[in-house]
Amino acid sequence: MNLILAPVILPLLAAMLAVVLRSNLKAQRVISGLVAIALPILSWVLFDTVRNSGVQVLRVGDWPATLGIVFALDLMGSLFVFFGAITFLATWLFLVGGGAGEDSETNLLHPMMLVLVGAVNWAFSTGDLFNLFVSFEILLIASYVLLIHGNGAGQVREGFKFVVLNFTAGMIFLATAGLAYGLFGTLNMAELGVRIHLANYPPEAVVLGVLFFCVFGMKAAIFPLFAWLPDSYPKAPPGVLAYFSGILTKVGIYSLYRLFSLCFPPAFFGEWFQPTLLVIAGLTMFIGVMGAFSQYSFRRILSFHIISQIGYMIFGLAIYTPLALAFGIFYVVHNMLVKSALLLVSDSVIVNRGTDDLKKVTGLIHVSPGLALIFLAAALSLAGIPPLSGFYGKFGFAWEGFNEGHYLTVFFAVLTGLFTLASMVKIWRYSFWGEKQEGPENGPLSRKGVIFAAGFLTSAALVLAATGGWFMPIMKQAGEELLDRRPYVQAVMGSDAAALLDGPGWQEVAQKP
Amino acid sequence: MGLMTALLVAILTGGGAWLMMRKNLFELLLGLGLFSHGINLFLMSMGGWSATEEVPLPSDHLTPDRYADPVPMALILTAIVIGFGVTAFLIVLASRGYEETRDVNLGEAVGQEGEE
């Protein structure tokens, strides 16, 4: 039984059904909820299958992998699908529990969320570049609609910028995929990796790699390409924003991890590539956190933090050891949970108080202590305080960074961690502590949905931290498979093709001067 | 043929990029259209050009070595559909923004918003 396509098709079919039932909000909620509950179970089963029997592959129509469309799910992909499903479940709880306000559920909200989820899972499980392009476009079209959903004045304008920038990036992605086909005669990622390897990493491959890096870097909001994010994200409607910031940029990170291990191992680019990555990682972290530090709006602080977290993930890729990639995967997963939890809290603040200006909203701890506690746990986890999940990732990056001698970037990573803590303390000090605001409009924040959803995500992050000892070896294996490349290529194209990758393996290459 | 295509791609994407830098919403939309046409043409050229190539439809005189490469065509077809959808959405978005602000200028509209 091959379940790979289920997390893709199920939400998309449900979305169609929900569009048909657009006059019946209750039915839409039920459909969306069934998917939200089914997806974590389904993706856990998938993850378990991948863990026990290796990379799962689906050849559509049973064409040979190099001719037909291929879906392939490895450990990294299945972990992302699972934790993405958990985040969607929390978002659904938030939306249905009334966390986003009374009139927020229009008849487009649930169908578009479902399309978004389906497209995200599609991106995580596809095996070829063109499907990746299509899934990115579907994902973006759904997110365009969600971003301007609600029709605030600022939303349409910022939405416009978001659409134009992402459409342009999509076009460049398309051209790059076409270039890959023109140069190496294939769109299948595994085959592209093998062909580039056999051609012994010619200069064209470097051009291709840099183009891909720019495209996915734009999606992931890395250092010079992040300008669109902090302006457009805070305009997204409540609830939706939490899912956006938890998942969307991570799809870019996933694509970077996938392509830059499978097709363009950094060592083959020459000596300039790794230092460039390290500098980009350091700057992304530091500028992101500096941007956050200077803001006085809850959601804008958190939006800037997305950028600085992306920096850590790029750092994991830049170090390029199995352990660093493993910590990178752990960090992505941790971020999906914690970031979404924080943004759910911030969404609830803006829904209840009409503003998220830290100076205008104070004393929340007096009216909603439960939510304050959830925020505190998630915020400390984001900052990387030891027993919580954020610590593992940051500690891992520092550890591997020191082992590999990237002292300067480690310095920036630690500095960024400090500033992250400082800006979380800032939110805490202004909005949660401080004078209790009197008056009926300053009542408790908590509608059931908020506590439920944010609490669920935060406890999922705590469980992740507690079971880190169980997850970490799996993620290490995922990192090793990424660097080794052969398990993935073998699953997609057979062992003959995988044998072509023998020769200089990653170990020797990584040690190449 | 190759040079012609290269020049056309350059003119289309260059012109498109130039138009996209402008603040006027209408010009921006035109720019996006030009840009995506340029990209589609570029994809077409990735299949390779030759005068002997024919449309890959089954017929008696056509042998596989004379087929034009169908993959880039499939890519372009999908890209055109997606581009069409996004452009339609953007036009609605632009007219919506115009109704709100009575201003075709994206920069001005953002200027009012850029208080944060």
Residues of A in contact with B100 (CB under 8 A): 153, 156
Q: What is the mean pLDDT of residues A337-355?
A: 86
Q: Determine the distance from the C-alpha atom of residue A400 to the mean position of all C-alpha atoms in its chain, rounded to a whole number.
A: 22
| Residue B35 near chain A (CB below 8 Å) | yes
Can you say whether residue A363 is alpha, beta or left, with left for phi > 0 and alpha for psi between -120 and 50 degrees? left
Cα A332 to Cα A323: distance, rounded to the nearest angstrom: 14
The pLDDT assigned to A468 comes to 85
Nearest to A175 among B39, B96, B113 (CB): B39
| Residue A343 near chain B (CB below 8 Å) | no
The pLDDT assigned to A152 comes to 62
- Going by C-beta distance under 8 Å and a sequence separation of 6 or more, which residues neighbour residue A55? A72, A73, A74, A75, A481, A487, A488, A490, A491, A492
What amino acid is encoded at A193 in this protein? Answer: G
Q: Which of A80-94, A230-244, A435-449, B35-49 is modeled with the greatest confidence?
A: A80-94
- What residue ranges do the domains of chain B occupy? 84-116
Q: Over the range A9-20, which residues count as b (16 or more CB within 10 Å of their CB) and which as e? A: ebbbebbebbbe
> Phi, psi (5° rounding) for residue A470?
-85, -40
Mean of pLDDT over chain B = 79
What residues does A70 pair with on adjacent strands?
A59
| Residue A360 near chain B (CB below 8 Å) | no
Model confidence over A61-102: pLDDT tens digits?
A: 888 877 888 999 999 999 999 999 999 999 999 988 877 766
- Going by C-beta distance under 8 Å and a sequence separation of 6 or more, which residues neighbour residue A252? A216, A217, A218, A219, A220, A221
Model confidence over B63-102: pLDDT tens digits?
A: 666 677 778 888 899 889 988 888 898 888 888 777 777 7
Residues of B in contact with A175 (CB under 8 A): 39, 42-43
Beta-carbon separation of A156 and B93 below 8 A: yes
- Going by C-beta distance under 8 Å and a sequence separation of 6 or more, which residues neighbour residue A34? A14
Residue to mutate among A161, A171, A299, with most B CBs inside 10 A, is: A171
SS3 state of residue A502? coil
Burial of B60 (0-12, 13-18, 19+ CB in 10 A): exposed
**Predicted TM-score (pTM) above 0.95:** no
What are the DSSP calls for A191-243, one per residue? HHHHHHHHTTS-HHHHHHHHHHHHHHHHHHT-GGG-THHHHHGGGSPTTHHHH
Q: Determine the distance from the C-alpha atom of residue A509 to the mean position of all C-alpha atoms in its chain, rounded to a whole number.
A: 29
Q: Percent of chain A, pLDDT > 90?
A: 39
What letter does residue A106 receive in the DSSP assignment?
A: -
Beta-carbon separation of B39 and A187 below 8 A: no
ipTM metric: 0.87
CB A307 within 8 A of CB A228: no
Cα A58 to Cα A77: distance, rounded to the nearest angstrom: 14
SS3 state of residue A59? strand
pLDDT bin (cut points 50, 70, 90) of residue B115 is very low
Model confidence over A105-145: pLDDT tens digits?
A: 778 889 999 999 999 999 999 988 989 999 999 998 898 88
- Number of other residues whose CB lies within 10 A of the CB of residue A407: 10
What letter does residue B54 receive in the DSSP assignment?
A: B
Residues of A in contact with B20 (CB under 8 A): 164, 168
Q: Percent of chain B, pLDDT > 90?
A: 22
Nearest Cα residue in chain A from B100: A153
Q: In angstroms, what separates the C-alpha of B79 from chain A's closest C-alpha?
A: 8
| Residue B94 near chain A (CB below 8 Å) | yes
Residues of A in contact with B36 (CB under 8 A): 171
| Residue A21 near chain B (CB below 8 Å) | no
